[in-house]
A and B are shown apart, each in its own frame.
Chain A
C-alpha cells in the first residue's frame, strides 16, 4: 500500500534519509519513531508529495508518486497533524465546503454520519453549529480527524495527533483507529500509548545519519 524504495533526502546539509526502504501492506500499521528533527513529519509529507525525495521511489497503492498522479493519489490519503488551524466559521459550513471540492463531489455529505462521528469522539451534537475559532485545541483536533473520516480514505497519516490531548482522549483516538481494521495507518508519535499497540516500527534514530 505504501512503499519506499531507496529514498534519500537531504535537508539543510543534513542527510535526513539515506536509502530508506520499507513496504507497508494494505491494512498495515506503522509507527514512526525518532527524536525531533529526525524527519518524522517530513516522511509523512513525502507520502503526500508535499516534499520530494532527492533519490528513490515512493509507491502509493502500487503507483509511483509523480507529477501526473500526485493530485489523484492524495485522494487515497488523509493527513492530520497536531495543533493546526483548519479554518474559520461554523463546523458544518466548513465540512460542506470540503465536500464541495471538485474532487469530492462524488462523495455525498451525510449529516447523520457527521453526528455519529461527533458522538464517537465525545463531542456534543451542537458542535456542528459552533465556530471553528471558538473550539478548544482538543475539540479542533477531533473535528480535523472527523472530517478525514467522513471522506473515508484508505490511508491515514497521523502526525502527533494525540500529543496535546489528555489521557482519556488519547485512549479514545487510539482505540478508534486501531478498530478500523481495513485502513492503513501510519503514525508519528511520542505518546507511549501508540507504542503499546501491536504496530510495526520504523526507527529514524537508527536510520538517520547526520553528516
Chain B
C-alpha cells in the first residue's frame, strides 16, 4: 500500500500544473493493478493444472492480445493487417519460444506453464513495441515517401526491389532503439525481470544469465516478427500495378 502512496506525488503535480492526466493516471494505475491481480489468479490455476494444451492455448491468446494492442497503437487498418500480423507473431515469437524452452533451458517438459506462459509473456510483451514501430514505419514511409517508391518502380524495380530500401529502414527503426538499450543494459538500467529474480532470492549470477538469454531471444523475436509482418502484409497491401492500396490506414 505504501507503493500507492508514491502516486500522490504525480497526482499532486498533475493538479498543481494542470497536466490533465489525473483521471487517466488513476484509471491506468487501477487497470494495471486489476490486470496483474487477475493474472496472479490465472497463473495460480495454470500452474496448478499445468496442462500443455491449456498452456499453448494461453500463449496463443496472449499473441492475439499482443496483435490487438499492436494494431490499436498503429494507424493501420484492422481488417487488412490483423491476420498477417497475427501469423507473423505466431511464427516469430512462437519459434523463439520453442527454441528457448526446448534448447536453451532444456527442461524435461518444455510445455510446462512455468516456461510456456512466463517466458511467452516476456517475449511477447517486450517485442511488442519494436514490432509496432517496424510495421508502422514501413507503411507510413511508403505513404510519405511515395515519390521515392514510384521513382524506383520507374527505374525498373520489381515491387519487391522497390520495397527493399523501405524494408531496410523499418528494420533499422525497429532494432536500433533496442540495440542502444542492449548497449547500456546493466549500466544505466537493471532489467525488470532480473531485479524481480534477485528480489525473489535468486543469486545475481543466475539472474544475469537468464537475463542475457532472454534479451537475445527478444531481439531475435522482434527481427523475425517485423520481417514476417512486412512480408505477409505486403502481399495484400499492393494492387497488381504495384501501387499501395488506399484503405490500409485508419483515419
Contacts and interface: CB of A to CB of B under 8 A. Distances in A.
A50 B241 contact: yes
B49 interface: no
Interface in B207-251: 240-243
Contacts of A157: 154
A58 to B, nearest CB: 12
B104 interface: no
A179 B157 CA distance: 28
Interface string A111-153: 0000000000000000000000000000000001001100100
A25 to B, nearest CB: 22
Given A50-B241, A50-B243, A87-B165, A71 B151 contact: no
A101 B158 contact: yes
B154 A48 contact: yes
Contacts of A51: 243
Contacts of A48: 150, 153-154
B48 interface: no
A49 B148 CA distance: 16
Contacts of A55: none
Interface string A83-125: 0111110000000001001111000000000000000000000
Interface in B123-156: 145, 147-148, 150-156
Contact of A98 (B145, B150, B156): B156
Contacts of B242: 71
A61 B240 CA distance: 21
Nearest to A144: B151
Interface stretch (A14-22, A32-40, A74-82, A191-199): A74-82
A67 interface: yes
Contacts of A86: 148, 151-152
Interface residues of A, number: 31
A199 to B, nearest CB: 22
A44 to B, nearest CB: 10
Given A52-B241, A85-B145, A87-B165, A74 B151 contact: no
A71 to B, nearest CB: 7
B161 interface: yes
A49 B145 CA distance: 18
Interface residues of B, number: 19
Given A101-B157, A103-B156, A103-B158, A50 B165 contact: no
B151 A104 contact: no
B155 to A, nearest CB: 5
A170 interface: no
A70 interface: yes
Contacts of A70: 241
Contacts of A144: 151
A26 interface: no
Contacts of B169: 88
A164 to B, nearest CB: 13
A101 B150 contact: no
A104 B152 CA distance: 12
A45 interface: yes
Nearest to A49: B241
* Residue of A45, A84, A144, A148 ringed by the most chain B CB atoms within 10 A: A84
B145 A77 contact: no
A81 B151 contact: yes
A74 B154 contact: yes
B148 A79 contact: no
B165 A67 contact: no
Contacts of B151: 79-81, 84, 86, 144
Given A147-B155, A151-B155, 11 more contacts: A49-B241, A50-B150, A79-B150, A84-B145, A85-B145, A86-B148, A86-B152, A98-B157, A102-B161, A104-B155, A151-B156
Interface of B: 145, 147-148, 150-158, 161, 165, 169, 240-243
19 contacts: A45-B150, A48-B154, A50-B241, A50-B243, A67-B241, A74-B154, A74-B156, A75-B156, A78-B155, A85-B147, A85-B148, A86-B152, A87-B148, A88-B169, A98-B155, A101-B155, A101-B158, A103-B158, A157-B154
Q: Report the 4 A-B pairs with minimum CB-CB distance, sorted nearest first.
A: A79-B154, A84-B147, A103-B156, A104-B156
